Amino acid sequence: MRRYSRITGTGSYLPPRRLTNADLVDELGQRGIETSDEWIVERTGIRARHFAAPDVTCSDMGVEAARNALQAAGLDPTDIDLIIVATSTPDMVFPSAACILQNKLGANGCPAFDVQAVCSGFIYALTVADSMIQSGAARRALVVGSEVFSRILDFNDRTTCVLFGDGAGAVVLEASDTPGILSSDLHADGKHVDILCVPGNVSGGQVLGDPLLKMDGQAVFKLAVGLLEKAAHAVLAKAGLQESDIDWLIPHQANIRIMQGTARKLKLPMDKVVVTVDQHGNTSAASIPLALDHAVRTGQVQPGQTLLLEGVGGGFTWGAVLLKL
């Protein structure tokens, strides 16, 4: 009998400090940076975001999301035999945020590692965990997306600093006789490194190069919709399903216009799209599990429904996962 993996619990965490556009416009205004609530809402759909306190790390938020997911699955930390954290803003250069999170959670001993695929990170991590469960290498995995993008934002660059927020989301993925994850599709094209990157690095005890996020927003935008459409069609074809079989699209929450464009290409009405970008901003690898947990806990998505998760981001990376909840 084929072995599948299935999401049995979801969780999330948002840091308490919430900034509306008006709050951010005020803070940026004090630095002489001009922006407005109207511009941010019209171009992105974002109305608010959360920022972590200075002493809060990726693993701190990730472990809260993980605890919530474990509780939803009815499991203890020691039941977990694999931990994958998707992040581009880990606590340290090394060890991985996954190892630090594992110790905080009390799940010591199981394999734990980070996946770095920026805003596609959760899709990558979920696919790796699914493969390890299918192969028999793991039975109960914790897959976390956690980001503190506020640490890598240039608050003198209005074209990027209004877009991102902090937070974490997690799922418990368990081996099952029935699906679960139906199909996945991952891609990367390294020739687009420069359009979305944090170019700095640590060398000889110093940070060399600029350690803040740089993005050519229009270039990213132009690539995103087409790549997301291709990934969606690839996972549908692999699973033998049609666009009309999708109950919910849960896309990476970067920009409402990208989500509307993707939905249009897939002939899905916007009331089949889970939208949290208005309240969370772009939380990179955390955005999909945050949106999923929100949709599960509000009863928007229901057990047995077919969900299309998809992400796109720095690398360039992109991918999709089709699953039955």
Judged by the rule CB under 6 A, the positions of this chain that interact with ligand UT7 are 35, 39, 43-44, 119, 158-159, 162, 196, 217-218, 220-221, 224, 254-255, 258, 282, 313
CB of 231 to ligand UT7, least distance (A): 14
Retrieve residue 173's tokens. 């993925």
Retrieve residue 276's tokens. 């949290």
Catalytic residue from among 50, 58, 99, 252? 252
Task: Report the residue number, 36 or 103, with the smaller CB distance to ligand UT7.
Answer: 36
Residue 47 has φ and ψ, to the nearest 5°, of -120, -25
Burial 151-168 (b: 16+ CB within 10 A, else e): bbbeeeebebbbbbbbbb
Residue 305 has φ and ψ, to the nearest 5°, of -80, 160
Catalytic residue from among 58, 110, 119, 161? 119
Task: Report the residue number, 216 or 243, with the smaller CB distance to ligand UT7.
Answer: 216
Rounded CA-CA distance 283/307 in Å is: 20
Rounded CA-CA distance 202/164 in Å is: 23
CB of 217 to ligand UT7, least distance (A): 3
The shares of helix, strand and coil residues in the chain, as percent rounded to the nearest 5, are 40, 25, 30
Clarify whether 233 is annotated catalytic: no
SS3 310: strand
Task: Report the residue number, 288 or 307, with the smaller CB distance to ligand UT7.
Answer: 288
CB of 215 to ligand UT7, least distance (A): 6
CB of 199 to ligand UT7, least distance (A): 16
Rounded CA-CA distance 98/66 in Å is: 11
Q: Are strands 140-148 and 166-176 parallel, antiparallel or unpaired?
A: antiparallel
Sheet of strand 166-176, all strands in order from the earlier edge strand to the far edge: 4-13, 166-176, 140-148, 82-86, 112-115
Task: Report the residue number, 158 or 280, with the smaller CB distance to ligand UT7.
Answer: 158
SS3 26: helix
Clarify whether 119 is annotated catalytic: yes
Task: Report the residue number, 118 or 170, with the smaller CB distance to ligand UT7.
Answer: 118
CB of 224 to ligand UT7, least distance (A): 5
Catalytic residues: 119, 252, 282
